[in-house]
Amino acid sequence: MNVISRQTRILMSNPDAGFELFQIPLSRKVPNSMLLKNNLDKSIGLLVSLTLLFILFLASNVYGYANTTWSSAYNAYFHYNGSNEHVIIREIRLPRAIVATLVGSALAVSGALMQALTRNPMASPGILGVNAGASFFIVAGVALLAVNSQGQFIWFALAGAAAAAVSVYLVSAVGREGMTPLKLTLAGATMTALFASFTSAILVSSEGTLDHVFLWLVGSVEGRKLENVLPILPFFLVGISCSLLLGRAMNVISVGEEVAKGLGQNTLRVKLISLIIVVLLAGGSVSVAGPIGFVGLVIPHIVRSVVGVDYRWVLPYCVLLGGILLLSADIAARFVAFPKEVPVGVMTAIIGAPFFIILARRELRKP
């Protein structure tokens, strides 16, 4: 009690010290273990990440089944002549790169927020059933209400993501101990299985629906048009922008709800705003690209190993590294089974599944 009181007094005089005073279960690492230790290094790291994201974005416009070059990509934007190469780059690959960047960033940020709020290192939209809920609502909308446009998909996805998030939170909060990381993970796995079963039941009974959403269900950014991007763009911009303003609040609430309340933080308001952001980002991602998993799990851990647990840096890095991961996975998906393409959701699963197993084993070994 004396220790908590002393730490609380220090936090009241300097709220940003929270991530230094407490050993946060998300990373279990002391600040000295992070790769970039001062603000200058972290700022340079952001610029390097932004440059890498830009290079991969351009590479996504160049490489694929059709043989194009960097010069043809340049000419497609500045000297457009209507050739097949230019049409492929501007009409097919550009929207695909935009979707991959936005979805990767959105999933990484939503995963970081979920891990901070729940203090569960295995929390992510895929693990906790948010993606599954959004997917079920979209499939149900296609099968029962003949939903077929991106503008309609987004609202069903948001409703499904919200329903799943609230359900997982309520189920995991039952009991005297309240919400614990283990109960949250189990509740998420249960809701994921439940929504997946409902989705399968609809698909089995409606072959037309299966044909319509098959590629979307495995997670893919292939074949997306700019018309698919525009309806979800406001949700992504609002969600990511608001999340970047929550860094200071996340630093406080991630050390524990009691400490956060002792500092005068309105934890209910912070949780509600964060939940809305997660629903916007995860629901928007599922509506345009399907249930792509593991991005929201992997990226926050990589970021914390680089910059530590200060969420004023974690969230901006998640925006950039999430886009980098999904762009890289999408480019690799074009060549891993060439001349055929593998859905990007398969590539992220190949990357993320071993990471999840390693993380789960590490958590089980801890006292």
Low-confidence ranges of the chain (pLDDT < 70): 1-33, 178, 181, 363-367
Q: Determine the Cα–Cα distance for residues 290 and 279; give it in Å rounded to an integer.
A: 14
pLDDT score, position 148: 82
Q: What is the pLDDT of residue 172?
A: 82
Query: φ and ψ at 337, to 5 degrees?
Result: -130, 35
Q: Can you give the C-alpha Rg of the chain in angstroms?
A: 21
303, 112 contact by CB (below 8 A):
yes
Query: pTM here?
Result: 0.86
Looking at residue 285, its pLDDT comes to 94
Place of tokens 């939170």: 169
Nearest to 131 by CA among 288, 299, 353, 355: 288
Residue 367 has what pLDDT? Answer: 56
